[in-house]
Amino acid sequence: MAQAMVKFCVCLLLLLAAAAVVAEGAAKKPKKVKCKDKKYPNCYHKDLYCPTSCLRTCVVNCASCKPVCIPPPPPPPSPPPPPPKRRGSPPPLSAPTHPHPPPPNPRPPPPPSPSTTPLPSPPPPPPPISTTPLPSPPPPASPQSSSTGPKRVMCKNKHYSHCYLMEQYCPIACPDRCEVDCVKCSPVCNCNMPGAVCQDPRFIGGDGITFYFHGEKDRDFCIVSDSNLHINAHFIGKRNQNMKRDFTWVQSLGILFDTHQLFIGAKKTATWDDRLDRLELVFDGEPIFLPNEEGFKWQPEISPRGVSVTMMQNTNSVEIEVEGIFKIKASVVPITEKESRVHNYDITSEDCFAHLDLNFKFYSLSNNVSGVLGQTYGSTYVSRAKLGVPMPILGGEKEFASSHLFATDCAVARFRGRFPSGDDDFSDKFEFANLNCAGRSDGHGVVCKR
Protein backbone atom coordinates (compact mmCIF):
# COMPACT_ATOMS: atom_id res chain seq x y z
CA MET A 1 0.00 0.00 0.00
CA ALA A 2 2.85 2.37 0.89
CA GLN A 3 4.57 1.65 -2.41
CA ALA A 4 1.38 2.51 -4.30
CA MET A 5 1.12 5.80 -2.47
CA VAL A 6 4.75 6.62 -3.27
CA LYS A 7 4.19 5.90 -6.96
CA PHE A 8 1.05 8.03 -6.96
CA CYS A 9 2.90 10.93 -5.36
CA VAL A 10 5.77 10.66 -7.87
CA CYS A 11 3.32 10.68 -10.80
CA LEU A 12 1.53 13.69 -9.33
CA LEU A 13 4.81 15.61 -8.99
CA LEU A 14 5.77 14.80 -12.59
CA LEU A 15 2.39 16.06 -13.83
CA LEU A 16 2.77 19.28 -11.86
CA ALA A 17 6.30 19.82 -13.24
CA ALA A 18 5.07 19.23 -16.79
CA ALA A 19 2.22 21.69 -16.26
CA ALA A 20 4.69 24.28 -14.97
CA VAL A 21 6.90 23.84 -18.03
CA VAL A 22 3.90 24.19 -20.35
CA ALA A 23 2.74 27.25 -18.46
CA GLU A 24 6.23 28.78 -18.65
CA GLY A 25 6.39 28.08 -22.38
CA ALA A 26 2.98 29.61 -22.87
CA ALA A 27 4.04 32.67 -20.93
CA LYS A 28 7.03 33.13 -23.22
CA LYS A 29 5.01 32.63 -26.39
CA PRO A 30 4.56 35.95 -28.24
CA LYS A 31 1.06 37.33 -28.29
CA LYS A 32 -0.78 37.41 -31.62
CA VAL A 33 -2.05 40.88 -32.55
CA LYS A 34 -3.95 42.37 -35.50
CA CYS A 35 -4.63 45.76 -37.07
CA LYS A 36 -8.32 46.59 -36.58
CA ASP A 37 -8.41 49.76 -38.69
CA LYS A 38 -10.11 49.14 -42.05
CA LYS A 39 -8.40 52.23 -43.48
CA TYR A 40 -5.30 50.07 -43.90
CA PRO A 41 -6.55 47.15 -46.08
CA ASN A 42 -3.03 45.79 -46.59
CA CYS A 43 -2.64 45.29 -42.86
CA TYR A 44 -6.23 44.85 -41.66
CA HIS A 45 -6.63 41.59 -39.69
CA LYS A 46 -3.16 40.40 -40.68
CA ASP A 47 -1.68 38.07 -38.04
CA LEU A 48 1.40 39.59 -36.38
CA TYR A 49 3.34 38.66 -33.24
CA CYS A 50 4.77 40.79 -30.46
CA PRO A 51 8.57 41.32 -30.52
CA THR A 52 10.81 39.69 -27.93
CA SER A 53 11.15 42.95 -26.00
CA CYS A 54 7.42 42.87 -25.15
CA LEU A 55 6.08 39.36 -25.75
CA ARG A 56 2.64 40.03 -24.26
CA THR A 57 2.22 43.80 -24.41
CA CYS A 58 2.26 45.22 -27.92
CA VAL A 59 -0.07 46.76 -30.47
CA VAL A 60 -0.03 47.02 -34.26
CA ASN A 61 1.04 50.23 -35.99
CA CYS A 62 -1.35 49.94 -38.93
CA ALA A 63 0.56 52.51 -41.01
CA SER A 64 3.79 50.49 -40.99
CA CYS A 65 1.98 47.17 -40.39
CA LYS A 66 4.41 46.24 -37.62
CA PRO A 67 3.90 45.31 -33.97
CA VAL A 68 5.27 47.89 -31.55
CA CYS A 69 5.71 47.77 -27.79
CA ILE A 70 3.11 49.69 -25.80
CA PRO A 71 4.75 52.72 -24.16
CA PRO A 72 4.53 52.73 -20.33
CA PRO A 73 1.36 54.49 -19.13
CA PRO A 74 1.91 57.90 -17.56
CA PRO A 75 -0.23 57.68 -14.38
CA PRO A 76 2.68 58.43 -11.98
CA PRO A 77 2.56 62.21 -12.63
CA SER A 78 -1.07 62.36 -11.39
CA PRO A 79 -0.30 61.42 -7.73
CA PRO A 80 1.94 64.48 -7.10
CA PRO A 81 -0.89 67.03 -7.63
CA PRO A 82 -3.11 65.63 -4.78
CA PRO A 83 -0.54 66.28 -2.00
CA PRO A 84 -0.46 70.04 -2.68
CA LYS A 85 -4.25 70.09 -2.53
CA ARG A 86 -4.18 68.68 1.02
CA ARG A 87 -1.51 71.14 2.08
CA GLY A 88 -3.49 74.05 0.74
CA SER A 89 -6.81 72.78 2.11
CA PRO A 90 -6.03 73.33 5.88
CA PRO A 91 -5.85 77.12 5.52
CA PRO A 92 -9.30 77.36 3.86
CA LEU A 93 -10.75 75.31 6.74
CA SER A 94 -9.64 77.91 9.28
CA ALA A 95 -10.74 80.77 7.03
CA PRO A 96 -14.32 79.58 6.54
CA THR A 97 -14.73 78.96 10.28
CA HIS A 98 -14.49 82.74 10.87
CA PRO A 99 -17.06 83.76 8.27
CA HIS A 100 -19.51 81.18 9.50
CA PRO A 101 -19.75 82.43 13.11
CA PRO A 102 -21.84 85.49 12.00
CA PRO A 103 -24.66 83.34 10.60
CA PRO A 104 -24.79 81.12 13.72
CA ASN A 105 -27.97 83.00 14.78
CA PRO A 106 -29.67 79.64 14.62
CA ARG A 107 -28.38 77.26 17.27
CA PRO A 108 -27.58 74.54 14.75
CA PRO A 109 -24.56 76.37 13.32
CA PRO A 110 -22.09 73.75 14.57
CA PRO A 111 -23.55 71.06 12.31
CA PRO A 112 -23.71 73.29 9.22
CA SER A 113 -20.11 74.37 9.72
CA PRO A 114 -18.76 70.87 8.95
CA SER A 115 -21.21 70.63 6.08
CA THR A 116 -20.07 73.98 4.73
CA THR A 117 -16.41 73.12 5.09
CA PRO A 118 -16.59 70.63 2.22
CA LEU A 119 -18.18 73.34 0.10
CA PRO A 120 -15.11 75.60 0.18
CA SER A 121 -12.82 72.61 -0.29
CA PRO A 122 -14.14 71.87 -3.79
CA PRO A 123 -13.06 75.27 -5.13
CA PRO A 124 -9.38 74.59 -4.40
CA PRO A 125 -9.39 71.38 -6.47
CA PRO A 126 -10.19 73.16 -9.74
CA PRO A 127 -6.97 75.20 -9.69
CA PRO A 128 -4.76 72.11 -9.34
CA ILE A 129 -6.76 70.46 -12.11
CA SER A 130 -5.96 73.41 -14.33
CA THR A 131 -2.30 73.01 -13.44
CA THR A 132 -2.24 69.33 -14.33
CA PRO A 133 -2.66 70.01 -18.06
CA LEU A 134 0.39 72.25 -17.93
CA PRO A 135 2.81 69.30 -17.86
CA SER A 136 1.02 67.87 -20.91
CA PRO A 137 2.68 70.31 -23.38
CA PRO A 138 6.01 68.43 -23.21
CA PRO A 139 4.61 65.51 -25.24
CA PRO A 140 3.94 67.70 -28.31
CA ALA A 141 7.67 68.44 -28.36
CA SER A 142 8.25 64.90 -29.58
CA PRO A 143 6.66 65.48 -33.00
CA GLN A 144 8.77 68.58 -33.43
CA SER A 145 11.90 66.58 -32.78
CA SER A 146 10.73 63.94 -35.26
CA SER A 147 10.60 66.61 -37.95
CA THR A 148 14.36 66.92 -37.69
CA GLY A 149 14.80 63.13 -37.75
CA PRO A 150 15.00 60.75 -40.71
CA LYS A 151 13.15 61.66 -43.88
CA ARG A 152 9.77 60.00 -44.47
CA VAL A 153 9.45 58.14 -47.77
CA MET A 154 6.78 56.06 -49.51
CA CYS A 155 6.45 53.64 -52.40
CA LYS A 156 4.50 55.46 -55.12
CA ASN A 157 4.13 52.55 -57.54
CA LYS A 158 0.49 51.37 -57.54
CA HIS A 159 1.54 47.99 -58.94
CA TYR A 160 2.88 47.07 -55.48
CA SER A 161 -0.35 47.25 -53.49
CA HIS A 162 1.24 45.67 -50.41
CA CYS A 163 3.60 48.64 -50.12
CA TYR A 164 1.87 51.50 -51.99
CA LEU A 165 1.89 54.77 -49.98
CA MET A 166 3.06 52.98 -46.82
CA GLU A 167 5.06 55.54 -44.82
CA GLN A 168 8.62 54.56 -43.90
CA TYR A 169 11.77 56.30 -42.64
CA CYS A 170 15.26 56.56 -44.13
CA PRO A 171 17.96 54.42 -42.46
CA ILE A 172 20.38 56.01 -39.97
CA ALA A 173 23.19 55.70 -42.54
CA CYS A 174 21.35 58.07 -44.93
CA PRO A 175 18.70 59.98 -42.95
CA ASP A 176 17.79 62.29 -45.82
CA ARG A 177 18.84 60.45 -48.99
CA CYS A 178 16.88 57.24 -49.56
CA GLU A 179 13.90 55.81 -51.39
CA VAL A 180 11.64 52.80 -50.96
CA ASP A 181 12.35 49.54 -52.76
CA CYS A 182 8.72 48.69 -53.57
CA VAL A 183 9.54 45.03 -54.18
CA LYS A 184 11.06 44.54 -50.72
CA CYS A 185 8.92 47.34 -49.24
CA SER A 186 11.85 48.75 -47.31
CA PRO A 187 13.86 52.02 -47.50
CA VAL A 188 17.25 51.84 -49.25
CA CYS A 189 20.05 54.43 -49.27
CA ASN A 190 20.52 56.02 -52.71
CA CYS A 191 24.22 55.08 -52.58
CA ASN A 192 23.30 51.40 -52.17
CA MET A 193 21.12 51.11 -55.27
CA PRO A 194 22.07 50.13 -58.84
CA GLY A 195 23.36 53.17 -60.70
CA ALA A 196 25.03 54.73 -57.65
CA VAL A 197 28.41 56.50 -57.78
CA CYS A 198 29.50 57.65 -54.32
CA GLN A 199 32.45 58.10 -51.98
CA ASP A 200 35.96 57.08 -53.19
CA PRO A 201 34.30 56.25 -56.39
CA ARG A 202 32.26 53.22 -55.42
CA PHE A 203 30.04 52.16 -58.32
CA ILE A 204 27.02 49.87 -58.22
CA GLY A 205 26.44 48.69 -61.78
CA GLY A 206 23.19 48.03 -63.58
CA ASP A 207 23.89 44.36 -62.86
CA GLY A 208 23.88 45.09 -59.10
CA ILE A 209 27.60 44.34 -58.67
CA THR A 210 29.67 46.77 -56.57
CA PHE A 211 33.14 47.80 -57.75
CA TYR A 212 35.63 50.67 -57.38
CA PHE A 213 37.15 52.78 -60.15
CA HIS A 214 39.81 55.15 -58.81
CA GLY A 215 41.06 56.75 -62.02
CA GLU A 216 43.43 59.66 -61.36
CA LYS A 217 42.99 63.04 -59.68
CA ASP A 218 42.47 66.12 -61.89
CA ARG A 219 41.46 64.00 -64.90
CA ASP A 220 38.22 63.26 -66.77
CA PHE A 221 36.78 59.81 -67.47
CA CYS A 222 33.88 58.58 -69.54
CA ILE A 223 31.36 56.84 -67.28
CA VAL A 224 28.49 56.48 -69.80
CA SER A 225 28.59 56.59 -73.59
CA ASP A 226 25.70 55.67 -75.88
CA SER A 227 24.40 56.89 -79.24
CA ASN A 228 22.49 59.84 -77.71
CA LEU A 229 23.99 60.16 -74.22
CA HIS A 230 27.55 60.79 -73.11
CA ILE A 231 28.60 61.49 -69.50
CA ASN A 232 32.12 62.36 -68.38
CA ALA A 233 33.17 62.71 -64.75
CA HIS A 234 35.92 64.99 -63.44
CA PHE A 235 37.89 63.39 -60.60
CA ILE A 236 39.52 65.37 -57.78
CA GLY A 237 41.77 63.72 -55.23
CA LYS A 238 44.77 63.59 -53.01
CA ARG A 239 47.95 61.53 -53.22
CA ASN A 240 48.59 59.10 -50.41
CA GLN A 241 52.34 58.72 -49.91
CA ASN A 242 51.85 55.17 -48.62
CA MET A 243 49.90 54.00 -51.67
CA LYS A 244 50.51 53.76 -55.42
CA ARG A 245 47.24 55.50 -56.28
CA ASP A 246 45.29 58.66 -55.54
CA PHE A 247 42.32 59.01 -53.25
CA THR A 248 39.70 60.28 -55.70
CA TRP A 249 36.13 61.59 -55.74
CA VAL A 250 33.75 62.77 -58.51
CA GLN A 251 33.69 66.58 -58.43
CA SER A 252 31.58 67.30 -61.54
CA LEU A 253 29.78 65.83 -64.56
CA GLY A 254 29.71 66.92 -68.20
CA ILE A 255 26.57 65.53 -69.90
CA LEU A 256 25.80 65.55 -73.62
CA PHE A 257 22.41 64.59 -75.12
CA ASP A 258 20.67 65.60 -78.36
CA THR A 259 22.34 68.96 -79.09
CA HIS A 260 22.55 70.02 -75.45
CA GLN A 261 25.16 70.09 -72.72
CA LEU A 262 24.64 70.06 -68.97
CA PHE A 263 27.19 70.73 -66.25
CA ILE A 264 26.77 69.61 -62.60
CA GLY A 265 29.54 70.42 -60.14
CA ALA A 266 30.49 70.79 -56.47
CA LYS A 267 32.16 74.10 -55.62
CA LYS A 268 35.52 74.01 -53.87
CA THR A 269 34.91 74.47 -50.14
CA ALA A 270 37.26 74.90 -47.18
CA THR A 271 34.86 74.71 -44.22
CA TRP A 272 31.60 72.86 -44.73
CA ASP A 273 28.24 74.37 -43.71
CA ASP A 274 25.00 72.52 -44.57
CA ARG A 275 23.14 75.83 -44.76
CA LEU A 276 25.22 77.03 -47.73
CA ASP A 277 24.49 75.66 -51.18
CA ARG A 278 27.68 74.46 -52.92
CA LEU A 279 26.04 73.02 -56.05
CA GLU A 280 26.64 74.53 -59.50
CA LEU A 281 24.52 73.90 -62.62
CA VAL A 282 24.95 75.15 -66.19
CA PHE A 283 22.63 74.30 -69.12
CA ASP A 284 23.79 75.10 -72.67
CA GLY A 285 26.26 77.66 -71.33
CA GLU A 286 23.70 79.47 -69.14
CA PRO A 287 24.06 79.19 -65.33
CA ILE A 288 21.03 77.87 -63.46
CA PHE A 289 20.22 79.78 -60.29
CA LEU A 290 17.97 77.94 -57.85
CA PRO A 291 16.46 79.32 -54.62
CA ASN A 292 17.16 77.46 -51.37
CA GLU A 293 13.69 75.98 -51.39
CA GLU A 294 12.94 72.26 -51.27
CA GLY A 295 10.57 71.23 -54.06
CA PHE A 296 11.40 74.17 -56.36
CA LYS A 297 11.41 73.05 -60.02
CA TRP A 298 13.33 74.72 -62.84
CA GLN A 299 12.75 74.16 -66.57
CA PRO A 300 14.39 75.89 -69.56
CA GLU A 301 12.20 78.29 -71.51
CA ILE A 302 12.94 76.55 -74.81
CA SER A 303 13.78 72.85 -74.98
CA PRO A 304 12.63 70.13 -77.40
CA ARG A 305 12.60 67.67 -74.51
CA GLY A 306 11.24 67.74 -70.97
CA VAL A 307 14.30 68.96 -69.05
CA SER A 308 13.82 69.74 -65.36
CA VAL A 309 15.87 70.38 -62.21
CA THR A 310 14.14 69.93 -58.83
CA MET A 311 15.52 70.88 -55.42
CA MET A 312 15.35 67.79 -53.19
CA GLN A 313 16.42 69.76 -50.10
CA ASN A 314 16.90 73.43 -49.32
CA THR A 315 20.59 73.11 -50.26
CA ASN A 316 23.08 70.79 -51.97
CA SER A 317 20.68 68.21 -53.41
CA VAL A 318 18.86 68.14 -56.77
CA GLU A 319 17.11 65.75 -59.10
CA ILE A 320 17.78 66.29 -62.80
CA GLU A 321 15.57 64.60 -65.38
CA VAL A 322 15.56 64.57 -69.16
CA GLU A 323 12.36 62.93 -70.31
CA GLY A 324 12.95 59.58 -71.97
CA ILE A 325 16.73 59.59 -71.38
CA PHE A 326 17.81 59.77 -67.73
CA LYS A 327 17.18 60.88 -64.17
CA ILE A 328 20.07 61.83 -61.88
CA LYS A 329 19.99 62.51 -58.14
CA ALA A 330 23.04 64.57 -57.19
CA SER A 331 24.10 65.68 -53.70
CA VAL A 332 27.15 67.69 -52.68
CA VAL A 333 28.86 66.20 -49.62
CA PRO A 334 32.20 66.91 -47.87
CA ILE A 335 34.88 64.60 -46.52
CA THR A 336 34.26 64.68 -42.77
CA GLU A 337 36.96 64.60 -40.10
CA LYS A 338 35.81 61.13 -39.10
CA GLU A 339 36.09 59.81 -42.68
CA SER A 340 39.51 61.40 -43.04
CA ARG A 341 40.68 59.80 -39.82
CA VAL A 342 39.27 56.33 -40.59
CA HIS A 343 40.56 56.18 -44.19
CA ASN A 344 43.76 58.22 -43.68
CA TYR A 345 42.71 60.83 -46.25
CA ASP A 346 44.70 63.51 -44.37
CA ILE A 347 42.16 66.23 -45.21
CA THR A 348 43.19 69.71 -44.02
CA SER A 349 41.20 72.86 -43.20
CA GLU A 350 42.15 74.33 -46.61
CA ASP A 351 39.84 72.00 -48.56
CA CYS A 352 37.16 69.54 -47.41
CA PHE A 353 37.07 68.04 -50.95
CA ALA A 354 33.36 68.62 -51.51
CA HIS A 355 32.20 66.12 -54.13
CA LEU A 356 29.11 64.54 -55.67
CA ASP A 357 27.18 61.51 -54.49
CA LEU A 358 25.18 60.37 -57.51
CA ASN A 359 22.42 57.98 -58.43
CA PHE A 360 21.55 57.33 -62.08
CA LYS A 361 18.43 55.93 -63.73
CA PHE A 362 18.47 55.40 -67.50
CA TYR A 363 15.39 55.02 -69.69
CA SER A 364 16.67 54.21 -73.18
CA LEU A 365 20.19 52.74 -73.21
CA SER A 366 21.16 50.48 -76.10
CA ASN A 367 22.97 47.15 -75.77
CA ASN A 368 26.02 48.89 -77.24
CA VAL A 369 26.37 51.30 -74.30
CA SER A 370 29.82 51.65 -72.75
CA GLY A 371 31.71 53.64 -70.12
CA VAL A 372 32.79 52.77 -66.58
CA LEU A 373 29.15 52.59 -65.40
CA GLY A 374 27.31 52.38 -68.71
CA GLN A 375 28.84 49.06 -69.78
CA THR A 376 27.23 47.32 -66.79
CA TYR A 377 23.80 47.90 -68.40
CA GLY A 378 24.70 45.88 -71.51
CA SER A 379 22.81 42.58 -71.83
CA THR A 380 26.02 40.61 -72.49
CA TYR A 381 28.28 42.39 -69.99
CA VAL A 382 30.33 40.28 -67.57
CA SER A 383 32.08 42.15 -64.74
CA ARG A 384 35.87 42.36 -65.03
CA ALA A 385 36.32 43.34 -61.38
CA LYS A 386 37.72 40.69 -59.07
CA LEU A 387 34.78 39.66 -56.96
CA GLY A 388 34.90 38.18 -53.47
CA VAL A 389 37.44 40.71 -52.16
CA PRO A 390 36.78 43.66 -49.82
CA MET A 391 37.40 46.22 -52.60
CA PRO A 392 36.84 44.85 -56.13
CA ILE A 393 38.66 47.31 -58.41
CA LEU A 394 37.94 47.90 -62.09
CA GLY A 395 40.91 49.09 -64.13
CA GLY A 396 40.89 50.68 -67.58
CA GLU A 397 41.99 54.26 -66.95
CA LYS A 398 43.40 54.52 -70.49
CA GLU A 399 40.28 52.98 -71.99
CA PHE A 400 37.91 55.48 -70.35
CA ALA A 401 40.10 58.62 -70.21
CA SER A 402 38.76 61.76 -71.94
CA SER A 403 40.71 64.86 -72.90
CA HIS A 404 38.24 67.21 -71.14
CA LEU A 405 34.85 67.23 -69.46
CA PHE A 406 32.75 67.54 -72.62
CA ALA A 407 35.00 65.52 -74.94
CA THR A 408 33.72 62.41 -76.72
CA ASP A 409 37.18 61.09 -77.56
CA CYS A 410 37.56 58.24 -75.05
CA ALA A 411 38.42 54.88 -76.63
CA VAL A 412 34.93 53.49 -75.95
CA ALA A 413 32.93 56.54 -77.11
CA ARG A 414 29.57 55.75 -78.79
CA PHE A 415 28.00 59.21 -78.86
CA ARG A 416 26.55 60.56 -82.13
CA GLY A 417 23.69 62.78 -80.94
CA ARG A 418 20.23 63.20 -82.41
CA PHE A 419 18.66 66.19 -84.08
CA PRO A 420 15.03 67.18 -84.66
CA SER A 421 15.80 67.64 -88.37
CA GLY A 422 16.91 64.02 -88.65
CA ASP A 423 20.22 65.15 -90.17
CA ASP A 424 22.95 62.70 -89.13
CA ASP A 425 25.75 64.96 -90.35
CA PHE A 426 26.21 66.91 -87.15
CA SER A 427 29.92 67.71 -87.27
CA ASP A 428 29.23 71.36 -88.12
CA LYS A 429 26.22 71.67 -85.80
CA PHE A 430 27.58 70.10 -82.66
CA GLU A 431 29.59 73.20 -81.84
CA PHE A 432 30.38 72.36 -78.23
CA ALA A 433 31.95 69.00 -79.07
CA ASN A 434 35.32 70.72 -79.37
CA LEU A 435 35.00 72.89 -76.28
CA ASN A 436 37.43 72.42 -73.41
CA CYS A 437 35.53 72.96 -70.14
CA ALA A 438 36.79 72.79 -66.58
CA GLY A 439 35.98 74.27 -63.18
CA ARG A 440 37.78 77.46 -62.18
CA SER A 441 40.53 77.22 -59.60
CA ASP A 442 38.55 79.33 -57.12
CA GLY A 443 35.64 76.92 -57.27
CA HIS A 444 33.24 79.48 -58.79
CA GLY A 445 31.85 78.70 -62.22
CA VAL A 446 33.00 76.63 -65.19
CA VAL A 447 35.23 77.94 -67.98
CA CYS A 448 34.94 76.64 -71.56
CA LYS A 449 37.52 77.35 -74.29
CA ARG A 450 37.47 76.34 -77.93
Q: What does the pLDDT look like over 303-330, one tens digit per residue? A: 767 999 999 989 999 999 999 999 999 9
Q: Could you tell me where the DSSP H helices lie in 29-100?
A: 82-88, 90-97
Tell me which range, 38-52, 141-155, 300-314, 419-433, is most confidently predicted by mean pLDDT: 300-314
Higher pLDDT, 386 or 311: 311
Tell me which range, 15-19, 70-74, 298-302, 326-330, is most confidently predicted by mean pLDDT: 326-330
DSSP lists the bridge partners of residue 317 as: 331
Q: What is the percent of the chain with per-residue pLDDT over 70, rounded to a whole number?
A: 71
Least confident of 37-41, 138-142, 175-179, 327-331: 138-142
Residues in contact with 305: Cβ distance below 8 Å, sequence separation at least 6, in sequence order:
257, 258, 322, 323, 324, 325
Tell me which range, 15-29, 148-162, 289-303, 357-371, is most confidently predicted by mean pLDDT: 357-371
123/287 Cα distance (integer angstroms): 71
Residue 24: what pLDDT? 55
Residue 43: what pLDDT? 83
Give the residue from 185, 52, 69 showing the smallest Cα distance to 60.
Answer: 69
Higher pLDDT, 171 or 449: 171
Residue range 189-205: mean pLDDT, rounded: 90
356/360 Cα distance (integer angstroms): 12
Give the residue from 205, 204, 266 showing the smallest Cα distance to 235.
Answer: 266
Give the residue from 223, 445, 236, 195 showing the smallest Cα distance to 334.
Answer: 236
Quickly state the pLDDT bin for 5 (edges 50, 70, 90): confident
Residue range 227-245: mean pLDDT, rounded: 88
- Interval 80-91: pLDDT, tens: 555 554 444 444
DSSP symbols for 284-301? TTEEE---S-TT-EE--S
Phi and psi torsions of 129, nearest 5°: -65, -40
- Vertex 214: Cα angle to 253 and 339 (nearest 5): 90
Residue 206: what pLDDT? 92
First to last CA, the chain: 115
Residue 27: what pLDDT? 53
